[in-house]
């Protein structure tokens, strides 16, 4: 059953259990509504309560990837969206340029 095929909250619970995640009714309802309304699901809570595990289960269920954004007080949207891993972006850019140069392709 795919993420867009669920018709009930119980089906969400079953699907997540198939991904080795046990969701309570409140969380399953929030996930069901986010899917049904095609809206993002934002999770907040103390460290260690399982927010990332929910994301991993949803990524597994949807056969999609997980983009983890760790927020903190003072983080604005520009930093979160555009500057999230500047060092990694530079490394990727350099590797792409090097691969292009090695193959004779201009990547600029």
22 and 39: one domain?
yes
Question: Does the pLDDT value for residue 16 go beyond 90?
Answer: yes
- The better pLDDT of the pair 15, 67 is held by 15
Phi first, then psi: give them for residue 68, nearest 5 degrees: -100, 125
Per the structure block, which two tokens stand in for 95? 């590797």
Q: What total of structural domains would you count in the chain? A: 2
Range of 23's domain? 1-66
Max CA distance (Å), the chain = 56
| pLDDT, mean of residues 82-105 | 76
Write the CA distances from 21 to 9, 36, 41, 69, 77, integer angstroms.
14, 20, 17, 20, 30
Span 20-38, mean pLDDT?
95
Do 89 and 104 lie in one domain? The reply is yes
């Amino acid at each position: 059953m795919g993420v867009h095929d669920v018709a009930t909250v119980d089906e969400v619970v079953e699907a997540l259990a198939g991904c080795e995640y046990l969701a309570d009714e409140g969380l399953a309802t929030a996930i069901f509504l986010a899917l049904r309304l095609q809206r993002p699901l934002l999770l907040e809570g103390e460290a260690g309560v399982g927010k990332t595990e929910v994301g991993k289960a949803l990524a597994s269920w949807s056969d999609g990837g997980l983009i983890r954004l760790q927020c903190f007080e003072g983080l604005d949207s520009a930093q979160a969206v555009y500057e999230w891993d500047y060092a990694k972006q530079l490394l990727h850019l350099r590797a792409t340029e090097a691969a292009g140069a090695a193959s004779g392709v201009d990547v600029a």
